[in-house]
Chains A and B, each alone.
Chain A
Amino acid sequence: MSTLAYTVSDSTTMLRRNLRRLQRYPSLTLLLIGMPIVFLLLFVYVFGGQLSHGLDTAYAAGHTGRAGYLNYVTPGILLMTVAAAVQGTAIVVAMDMTGGIIDRFRTMAIARSAVLTGHVLASLIQTLLSIGIVLGVAVALGFRPQAGVLDWLAAVGLLTLFAFALIWLATALGLAAKSVETASNTPMFLAFLPFLGSGFVLLASMPTGLRQFAHYQPFTPTTETLRGLLTGTPIGANAVVAIAWSVAIALGSYLWARHLYTHRRAA
């Protein structure tokens, strides 16, 4: 077999291993999916009635009240799902790095990249499944996307790209963590970022400083693009900015993760 064939075969083996681990440890995935679902319920049923008053119907896909707010908040909740799911990535990567098994992999003649590739691909599958479940819950609550086939494809593409970027970031954070506990905490700020963006309220309602931060952080253009694709709100330049953010985060995190993997001894 050629080097490339070995790389593909080893990465597939690692992917299978990680998917099997996720299967054996379902409580982790359920816990991670639980968070965005709880926030969805909380924001739609507790705050939704109130929050919908400040909402232009253009942002609520033509609906008013609670139903309108559900349409507004779902894209932000989906991105929060991504941010929550990648906490699992950091945890499983740190579990590997702090256990003895990483030394076994390092002393075997396997493709160097296979260990990380296996983690990233397994997390990507886990994250997309999580998004599917949360989206299902939103639809069950009454979320009615008005997207055509191309919009759906673009939305899935955007979510995949964004998930890919955050997964590499979480992988790097997992590699950098000295313990599994640290690894489960460091990516938590990601799940908080949708609040400091256009995920839950219009930017216009925020005080100046916060609004500026919200305007320039990656979740906002990504939320706006996703919302535009699913519910038909204007996208404008947000799509380009969102893609640029994801590519930059993915590339930077990949290089960081690769450096950490090569240079850090197992704890």
Chain B
Amino acid sequence: MTDTHQPAVVVTGVRKSFGETVVLDCVDLTVTEGTIFALLGPNGAGKTTMVRILSTLIPADSGNAQVAGHDVVGDPDGVRASIGVTGQFSAVDELLTGKENLQLMADLNHLGRAAGRARVDDLLARFDLVDAAARPVSTYSGGMRRRLDLAMTLIGSPRVIFLDEPTTGLDPRSRRQMWDGIRNLAASGVTILLTTQYLDEADELADRIAVLDHGRIVAEGTPDELKRRVPGGHVRLQLADPPTLRAAAALFDGATPDEERLVLRVPGNGDVASLRHLLEQLDDARIAVEDLSISRPDLDDVFFAVTGPPTLEKEAA
């Protein structure tokens, strides 16, 4: 079980529907022990449903899922003993103090009096909650609540942690703090599966990313692998009017005009030579450019490349 290449989470062919709505459509996932895996997708893609299935809250309609070597259906208590879950909505007791919340978790994990107390104090310190420890949680800010939530998840020293949108609704500073906490956890050898709708978050934290869209995994790989799927970046040209836009579009292969914003996206990695060539072509055609910017490929491009443009045509069909 200490083999670092042992998968911590294995999902094969998981399907789940709520009534007529198919939420997960034959999902396969493998998360290597000790890594951070991000499940990236827009709202309604099925991320939370996946986490609920893996954390034994709801059963899948079909398919298999194993967490830390235990089957989620056959041995739910085995799974529960190995996992920690921090959901989208904070799972803290508002009427208790931060310390009492942690103590409750220590008791439910049967840590014993002394060990429990030591663990509670350690986590209060690690999550910067010492000053607020004696205050009821109802007085906490959003960021403090999330930190307490995560600390409560860690009391039992879980080997696999599920974080469902851990930074949604947090201000940038709290978000950074949360990221640091997650990175520290991973450094201690814990496996983390997190869901997020933020590309930068997945890019920042994850060893591997799976893009979930309409219940299907549409792309999977390391952040770099995914970025490589979008060849190069593009140069963005702002033009004065529609005729100029059309004239410019005719000059370049694979350029995509946006009539509404009068913007032309020309594929290219934006290095000096290709940029000079591009400007020469524009000069030769006597096309004036209002503004020019260079975009390197980021996960946004990957996301749109694999899920299709963020328009409504799919829904309309």
Contact = CB atoms under 8 A, between A and B. Distances in A.
**Which of B57, B81, B108, B153 gathers most chain A CB within 10 Å?**
B108
B299 interface: no
Given A1-B110, A265-B57, A107 B83 contact: yes
B56 A107 contact: yes
A99 B57 contact: no
Contacts of B91: 99-101, 103-104
Nearest to A13: B107
Interface string A99-115: 11101111111100000
Contacts of B92: 100-101
A245 to B, nearest CB: 34
Contacts of A25: 95
A21 B93 CA distance: 9
Nearest to A96: B93
Interface of B: 55-58, 77, 80-81, 83, 85, 87-96, 100, 104, 107-110, 136, 152-153, 156
A20 B56 contact: no
| Majority secondary structure of chain A interface residues (helix, strand, loop or mixed) | helix
Chain A interface residue bracket vs B? 20 to 34
Contacts of A109: 77, 80-81
A13 B108 contact: yes
A224 interface: no
Given A13-B104, A100-B91, A107-B85, A21 B96 contact: yes
B95 A21 contact: yes
B194 to A, nearest CB: 16
Main secondary structure of the interface of B (DSSP, over half): loop
B156 A107 contact: no
A100 B90 contact: yes
B104 A17 contact: yes
Interface in A13-63: 13, 16-17, 20-21, 24-25
A16 B92 CA distance: 16
Given A6-B110, A103-B91, A108-B108, A265 B80 contact: no
Contacts of A1: 110
A99 B77 CA distance: 22
Given A24-B95, A101-B91, A107 B110 contact: no
Most buried by A among B57, B136, B152: B57
The 9 A-B pairs at the shortest CB distance, nearest first, are namely A100-B91, A104-B91, A100-B89, A109-B81, A109-B80, A13-B107, A24-B95, A107-B85, A107-B55
Contact of A110 (B58, B96, B108): B108
Interface string A250-267: 000000000000000100
B136 A100 contact: no
A246 to B, nearest CB: 30
Nearest to B54: A107
Contacts of A104: 85, 87, 91, 152-153
Interface in A98-132: 99-101, 103-110
A4 B269 CA distance: 66
B78 to A, nearest CB: 8
A9 interface: yes
A17 B56 contact: no
B156 A108 contact: yes
Contact of B100 (A20, A108, A265): A20
A107 B158 CA distance: 12
Given A20-B96, A21-B93, A100-B89, A107 B108 contact: no
Nearest to A92: B95
Interface in A70-109: 99-101, 103-109
A9 B110 CA distance: 8
B93 A265 contact: no
Contact of B108 (A10, A20, A100): A10
Contacts of B89: 99-100
Nearest to B86: A104
A24 B95 CA distance: 6
Output the residue of B58, B88, B95 with the most chain A CB within 10 A: B95
A31 to B, nearest CB: 16
B40 to A, nearest CB: 22
A101 B80 contact: no
Contacts of B55: 107
Nearest to A111: B108
A13 B105 CA distance: 9
Interface in A105-163: 105-110
Nearest to A114: B108
B66 to A, nearest CB: 16
B93 A107 contact: no
B95 A100 contact: no
B96 A107 contact: no
A2 to B, nearest CB: 12
A198 B129 CA distance: 56
A24 B156 contact: no
Contacts of A10: 108
B212 to A, nearest CB: 21
Given A100-B89, A108-B156, 10 more contacts: A1-B110, A13-B108, A25-B95, A100-B90, A103-B85, A103-B91, A107-B85, A109-B81, A110-B108, A265-B58
